[in-house]
A = this chain, B = another copy of it.
Amino acid sequence: MPRRRQLPLDMLALDRGSATPLYRQLYESLRSQILDGRLAARMRLPATRELANDLGVSRNTVIGAYDALQAEGYLESAAGSGTRVAALPEYVGRTKVGRHASRLPGLSKRGRLMTSLWRDRTIPDRIAFHPGYPEIQAFPFTTWARLVAANMRNIREDLFGYHLVAGHPRLRLAIAEYLGVSRGVNCEPDQIIVVTGAQAALDLIGRLFMDPGDCFWIEDPGYAGAYNAFVSAGGRPAPLPVGPGGWGIEKANPSPRLIFVTPSCQWPLGLVMPMEVRLRLLQIAEKHDAWIVEDDYDSEYRFRGHPIPAMQGLDDSGRVIYVGTLSKTMFPSVRVAYIVVPPTLVEGFKTAVSVSGQYPPLLLQAAVADFISQGFFAIHLRRMRRLYARRQREFVAMCNTRLDRWLSVREIDTGMQLMGRFKRPMDDGDVLVAAMKRGVDFSRMSPHYRFAEPEQGMFLGYAGVDQDTTRRGVERLRLAFQDLERGSRQG
């Protein structure tokens, strides 16, 4: 067993007066010490509880810092041996981390905000059970590679300029047709603005519709990506409370400039917004002269009944801005999403996107257009719908058999992830640490709350995980829960 060296606590001075969150300060401090070699490879770090005590901070602060460092590969943890500094490649240690950082100008206020927002970090090769991952082994990559290669060889001057900033015409047509038939979205191809992912869509929308100080409503619990984009645009968030009973519209105030909702499959609760609430939201938006942003991120995966048409199709005023993505229906790294905007805003969005540079490569767009219009997309969707329905049933059954003592998981009708509720009081941060030690991942429920008292729980992605991995993952979760029980009996 390696000699246990002491973590030099005096080098971890935290500034409680700083705007930078404590976990971030701790993260940065540890990271720079790893990078410059002061914390040696393989060195063991104190347990989170211990370090939290030593530093006089909450345990979640330490967990947050460790999680981030682990997600990025600075730390590694293994069952039984705690958390250690990872052995990093050669060039680290020569980095210029210390290169007169103190002489650098500062970031802008907005920059300090944007660079310190919470992000849900995914970990390479550990998709059990992180939400937001589609199945990729089943994606028709051979067909896809053929379509891409054909388009990459197809040298046409009109694809090489800078004029098609709103998207490839064939792709805009294919998306408009798909949205009309499958999602009840009412639009012409010209209203489609193709962007580099749903996050880019939200970022652009936040900037074009809100000035600093403008209020936006966001579901609570709700989608961090939208929250981050809109506060980066200077928006002032106000909660639109969501609970097991649905959307608490009457509790939302003050007057919003923009309302962000996920009506087809609420993120993270998985609820479907009832028609009555949709119509009342439209009334409210009209009363306050507000925009509605409808994020329809994975409505394609509906397992019982029929997909529910988008709010955009109900709206006769043009104030519903519809956002859709191919990250879940194709794969995340394709980086193609789209915004449906009212006809009068099309030219403005083109100019704005040419300023922000948020448009994806045209040759890739052409391949995506072929993938949709030649029917491969519909076939893949149908297959995935069946696959995910089966995976969800199996996953829920396994959870109910093996994790029943700690966790309640129920089938839902839509989406690629579901919520696990604890049967006894537990901190989802503790559960995550225990799960990570056992080599399995999930997203904590509590960070999705920004206003209400957070509900502790697990947000579990099952769609991208095959049966064997699911079984192993559930067993690992079982071990993690058992570890926690043992720990708390001893503690």
Contacts and interface: CB of A to CB of B under 8 A. Distances in A.
A291 B106 CA distance: 9
B279 A115 contact: no
Contact of A291 (B35, B105, B122): B105
B357 A161 contact: no
Nearest to A360: B335
A354 B136 CA distance: 22
Interface residues of A, number: 146
A437 B386 CA distance: 57
Nearest to A228: B355
Given A89-B280, A108-B208, A209-B108, A305 B67 contact: yes
Contacts of A132: 162
How many copies of this chain does one complex carry?
A: 2
Given A95-B316, A136-B157, A107 B209 contact: yes
B200 A161 contact: no
A430 interface: no
Given A88-B279, A212-B212, A190 B95 contact: yes
A359 B87 CA distance: 28
Contacts of A101: 318, 342-344
A155 B142 contact: no
Given A107-B348, A108-B208, A305-B68, A125 B342 contact: no
Given A136-B155, A282-B91, A308 B72 contact: yes
Most buried by B among A27, A88, A108, A203: A108
B141 A358 contact: no
A278 B92 CA distance: 11
Given A91-B283, A127-B157, A155-B137, A72 B275 contact: yes
Interface string A136-169: 1101011011101110110101111111000000
A181 to B, nearest CB: 8
A94 B176 CA distance: 14
Contact of A158 (B124, B201, B316): B124
Given A121-B163, A136-B155, A317 B99 contact: yes
Contacts of A122: 161-163
18 contacts: A32-B344, A35-B314, A71-B163, A72-B308, A88-B276, A89-B283, A91-B286, A100-B317, A105-B291, A124-B157, A124-B163, A197-B359, A199-B356, A200-B356, A229-B356, A232-B356, A360-B360, A364-B364
Given A94-B188, A105-B289, 16 more contacts: A71-B272, A90-B279, A91-B282, A95-B343, A96-B188, A99-B318, A99-B342, A105-B209, A108-B208, A109-B211, A110-B211, A114-B355, A116-B348, A123-B161, A149-B149, A195-B357
Interface of A: 27-28, 31-32, 35, 64, 67-68, 70-74, 86-92, 94-97, 99-101, 103-105, 107-111, 114-117, 119-125, 127, 130, 132-133, 136-137, 139, 141-142, 144-146, 148-150, 152-153, 155, 157-163, 186, 188-190, 195-203, 207-212, 214, 225, 228-229, 232-233, 257, 272, 274-276, 278-280, 282-283, 286, 289-291, 305-306, 308-309, 314, 316-319, 331-336, 342-345, 347-349, 351-352, 354-364, 413
